[in-house]
Amino acid sequence: MMIILLIITAVVIITMIAQFYWSKRHIYRAVANMEGPKGLPIIGNALEFFCATEDIHDRLKIIFANVRQNPMRIWLGTHLLIALKNPVHLEKIMSSQKFSYKHELYKFLESLSGDGLVAASGLNPKYRVHRRIIQPMIDIKFVKSVLHILNEQSQNCMTKMEKFIDGDNFDVVKVIGPCSVVIMCEILLGRKLDMESANHKHICHSIPRLLHIGITRMLKIWLHPDFIYNWHPLKKEQDKTLETLHKFINEAIIDSYNRRKMKETEKQFVPVIDSMTEFVDNYPDMLNAEDLRIQLLTLLSASEDTFSIITSFSIICFGMYPEYQTKAAEEIQKLIGEESRDITLEDIYGLVYLDMCVKDIMRLFPIAPVILRKNFEDYHLDKWIIPEGAAIAIPIYFLHRDPMYWANPEHFHPDHFLPEFVQKRHPYTYLPFSAGPRGCIAKTMANIQIKLFLVKFLQLYEVEANGKVPDLKLRTDISVRPKNGYNCKIKRRLWKSK
């Protein structure tokens, strides 16, 4: 009897597997001639990510190192990913509204921050509406209105660094991160935080942990089913972290309504939250109270993380490549001067070499190392077919380090962005803020904020850091970070006579 039951069970399982593969026959036929790593039945290449979250970056390097000019297929469980690194292909995909849909794997980010502008699919009818509503609230006019805050808080951060002058190595993000939270909370949420407050410490800890949880669940397919994940320790941590962040956002929303009621908002500066709560009052059918909370959490986490990462990487790269630090500092000395003062937009636009430096940092360490789009109909891409339902994986980190497009791909090398080299490259070889309909709406604010901060830093300090970029051991969550911190030494800058 037992043998019969085992035979019946085996037949049922084999039948289910056969039905599954039969239902996917169109997809398998479409990708039969594509290159890609061999996978196992059902789970595909998912075992590649059976590792510590800290080591996911190294596994991604192994997989995406083989992506050349032709599409490459990867199976993450039953999800088909087609990786593209040819800029001609990328322009066709990323500039098209057909591919503005994020893949369902992003639902694991939605479960953290909701269907905000980062995680939401273009299929969500609210996505395009919310994008059109929010983008003007953080345009260049807004950036100009918050320059006094960026100057003040960046200067405060410089003061925090003074205790490390002529000392041992320290992790600079541990100074920049808390300052970044203060800046973003003030300009986005209208809340002035004390760095020593419990609120500030909770937010500093919560945002990076939330991003870590999201990528861990996304890449480990055994955590996809809710009935498994709900019993995992990460779920308990997720709930606790979200409780902290939601409470903080809700308090900020109440403050915004009170501030507007009492007409206490400055004429010079209106925090984003005040513009959004006013919009909710006037057009609740387009942006409701729940949408408001979700979008504010998205803006806070994305902008704080971007600023902290890029400025910290910039500082250690200047320390590892002192010749470029010297050139950037000399440009600042010539155009702005040696003495600290408020930096204007005109100052920022005049710093051509610093702009090249920041661009190369974002080349080396893009905020989103890999992004996914979903295809909802068969798409002919040259001689290949991207089948309906496939995820298009765009490995930005690896595109940015492809020796086919970059003379010194693994090193910090600002000359990559000299005009004569930029003109020779296809524009879709460089995608630090994505591109097309899903491009980052806050890239102008991020660029200006990062450069302003670096001006303040280079006016006051010289930095030293060991090794070169290839020596950094990196990890990946939603962004790329060093495993061992952004370690450097600083000393007071002693300007030489002009």
| Structure tokens belonging to residue 340 | 């600290």
**Does 42 have pLDDT greater than 90?**
no
Torsion angle, alpha carbons of 405, 408, 409, 412, to 10:
-130
From CA 407, how far away is CA 470, in angstroms rounded?
A: 15
Instruction: Find the Cα–Cα–Cα–Cα dihedral 315, 320, 321, 327, rounded to 10°.
Output: 30
Q: How many CB atoms lie within 10 A of CB 16?
A: 10
Q: Please tell me the distance from the alpha carbon of residue 328 to that of residue 212, in angstroms, as a whole number.
A: 33
Residue ranges making up the domain that contains 302: 37-492
Chain centroid to CA 353: 24
Q: Would you state the pLDDT for residue 116?
A: 46
462-497: pLDDT as tens digits: 999 999 999 999 988 778 889 999 999 999 998 776
Mean pLDDT of 27-49: 74
Of the candidates 407, 432, 418, 409, the one whose C-alpha atom is nearest the C-alpha of residue 352 is 418
Amino acid at 491: K
The reported pLDDT for the residue numbered 121 is 47
pLDDT tens for each residue of 324-343:
999 999 999 999 988 888 99
Taking phi first (over 0 means left), then psi (-120 to 50 degrees means alpha), and beta for anything else, what does residue 284 get? Answer: alpha
Are 483 and 473 contacting, i.e. CB atoms less than 8 angstroms apart? yes
Full-model pTM: 0.87
Domain assignment of residue 22, yes or no: no
Q: Is position 409 within any domain?
A: yes
User: What are 257's two structure tokens?
Assistant: 């309504």
CATH number, domain of 177, equals 1.10.630.10
DSSP 154-169: HHHHHHHHGGGBT-S-
Contact 395, 67 (CB under 8 A): yes
102 within some domain: yes
Decide if 17 is inside a domain.
Answer: no
Condensed to tens digits (0 to 9), the pLDDT of residues 396-422 reads: 999 999 999 999 999 999 999 999 999
Angle between helices 173-189 and 289-320 (to 10 degrees): 150
13 in a structural domain: no
Cα dihedral 352→355→361→363 (10° resolution): -90
Asked if the structure places residue 347 within a domain, the reply is yes
Which of 9-18, 115-124, 162-171, 364-373 is least confident? 115-124
Q: Which of 127, 76, 98, 138 is nearest to 393 (CA)?
A: 76
Task: Look up residue 48 and give its DSSP letter.
Answer: G
How many domains are contained in the chain?
1
Q: How far is CA 173 from the centre of its chain?
A: 16
| Confidence category of residue 122, pLDDT binned at 50, 70, 90 | very low
| pLDDT value of residue 117 | 46
- Using alpha carbons, select from 136, 72, 80, 140 the residue that is nearest to residue 105: 80
Query: What's the Cα-to-Cα distance from 294 to each of 84, 110, 120, 379, rounded to whole Å?
Result: 31, 10, 11, 33
Q: What is the pLDDT of residue 453?
A: 96
The answer to the question of residue 497 being in a domain is no
The chain-wide mean pLDDT, for the chain, equals: 83
pLDDT at 123 over 80: no
Is residue 32 in a domain? no
Average pLDDT value for residue range 260-271? 74
Alpha-carbon gap, residue 100 to 375, rounded angstroms: 9
Evaluate the CA torsion angle 251, 252, 258, 262 in order and state its sign. Answer: positive
> Rounded to 5, what percent of the chain is helix, strand, coil?
60, 10, 30
